[in-house]
Amino acid sequence: MINVEIKKYEITDDSNYLFTCAELTSREFEFLDNLKLERLVNSKNTDEFLKVLQETVYSSNIALINDESNLDNFILKYYKEMVDFLVERLEINHFSIIYLLFIEEYLNDFKLILKSLLLNNINLENLFIPLTFSYENLMEFMKKESPSLINEKDIFFQKIISELFNIKTIAMSEENYKQENIINFRKIEISFEKKFIEILLEEIKKIKSQMLLDYFKHWIDIQNIKNMNRVKYSEENLKYLDYLYPGGFIDINLFKILQSESSDYQVKEFEESCYSDIVIKGVHSLFSYKTFFSFDKNETLFYLRFFDSIKYSVSNVVKIFSFFLRKKIEIIVLNMIYMGIKYNAQKRNIIHKAEFLSES
């Protein structure tokens, strides 16, 4: 029986963030209330959706939304604003929370750069998410013979760049990354992902916030749970060590047992843990309705509820992180609602995608 629990935390306030947290507290009115969400969900078409959105804090950037790009430019605008705010306000030794907040986006970008370099500089800019640097700048930087610093204050970035150079060098020279003279990109990506998470975990530890460190460990556990179920569902011939990230609360060797057991066995193993909703509802939805959405929804709910206990703290880096995590999730939900309306998804499915903001 796997028994991982959410701990209780005593958060120490940091006077250095008093002004920043006061500003963010005053901005909490920005979050969409249930009435606005309901009206957005019940929009008959995208034009009506945009009219409702015009009544919210997002009105100033509605012009970025169109049929061609959908909400892509809109999302990027807000993501960049979040990153810029954090870069300006965070202490240097807390910069790693930016990478934690946007972990999927930064992993995407670094892997794209690596893939481009290994494919004779093929242009993959259309898939790039420019947050703290542009595709062009990073590519030029990585084409140098040896790494030099873009931002010497960002320790995590320094380490990741060095790792990219190392993996690039190995991939272009050693046969263990090749199959029949074709570079095995998936193997390279997994190797980089694990190293990225390992380095980020070490940087988060330096912040000396047990809550942020535990959040990251929970994130690792949940990714491993989802990855295991993806492999089981698709019946891919992968060893459990190929797709699991070390560093979570759950020993990755336990997944070796779970991988070979039935879904019912997995559900029973997790029923007493804090991941019970994610596993029970996710597994049922996956094998009954062939969708991973329930995994993603209950994962998001887990993160939102995880930070409930610091709502009434005054000023600390955890409060800053939790504010922008919720803001990021809200923007993702807006995108899901818009796309559901645009492509005439069933109303109950759109409601299902939006309701976890009101459930948190």
Q: Give the residue with greater pLDDT, 344 vs 187.
A: 344
Residue 168 is predicted with a pLDDT of: 81
Query: Which of the listed ranges 80-89, 279-288, 350-359 does the model predict with the highest average pLDDT?
Result: 80-89
Q: How confident is the model at residue 354 (pLDDT cuts 50, 70, 90)?
A: confident
DSSP 119: T
Q: How many CA atoms lie within 13 A of 126 on its CB side?
A: 3
CB environment 267-279: b (16+ within 10 A), e (fewer): bebbeebbbebbb
Residue 71 is predicted with a pLDDT of: 97
Q: How many CA atoms lie within 13 A of 331 on its CB side?
A: 24
Residue 180 is predicted with a pLDDT of: 47
Q: Which of 40, 67, 41, 73 is nearest to 54 (CA)?
A: 40
pLDDT at 11 over 50: yes
For the residues 272-280, what does the mean pLDDT come to? 96
The values of phi and psi at residue 70, to 5°, are 55, -130
For the residues 80-101, what does the mean pLDDT come to? 96
Q: How confident is the model at residue 166 (pLDDT cuts 50, 70, 90)?
A: confident
Residue 196 is predicted with a pLDDT of: 96
pLDDT at 203 over 70: yes
Q: Give the residue with greater pLDDT, 356 vs 351.
A: 351
Q: How confident is the model at residue 174 (pLDDT cuts 50, 70, 90)?
A: low
pLDDT at 147 over 70: no
This prediction's pTM: 0.93
Q: Report domain extents, the chain.
A: 1-14+214-313, 31-92+316-360, 95-209
Q: How confident is the model at residue 291 (pLDDT cuts 50, 70, 90)?
A: confident
Q: Which of 210, 121, 114, 128 is nearest to 160 (CA)?
A: 114
How many Cβ atoms sit within 10 Å of the Cβ of residue 89? 17
Percent above pLDDT 90 for the chain: 62
Structure confidence by residue, pLDDT tens digits, 292-333: 889 999 999 999 999 988 877 889 999 999 999 999 999 999
Q: Give the residue with greater pLDDT, 239 vs 345.
A: 345
Residue 233 is predicted with a pLDDT of: 80
pLDDT at 10 over 60: yes
For the residues 53-60, what does the mean pLDDT come to? 96
Residue 273 is predicted with a pLDDT of: 96
For the residues 202-218, what does the mean pLDDT come to? 96
Residue 296 is predicted with a pLDDT of: 92
Q: What angle, rounded to 10 degrees, do the helices at 46-53 and 317-342 form?
A: 150
Quote the mean pLDDT of the chain: 89
Distances (CA, A) of 221 to 108, 129, 252, 273, 287: 20, 26, 9, 12, 21
pLDDT at 205 over 50: yes
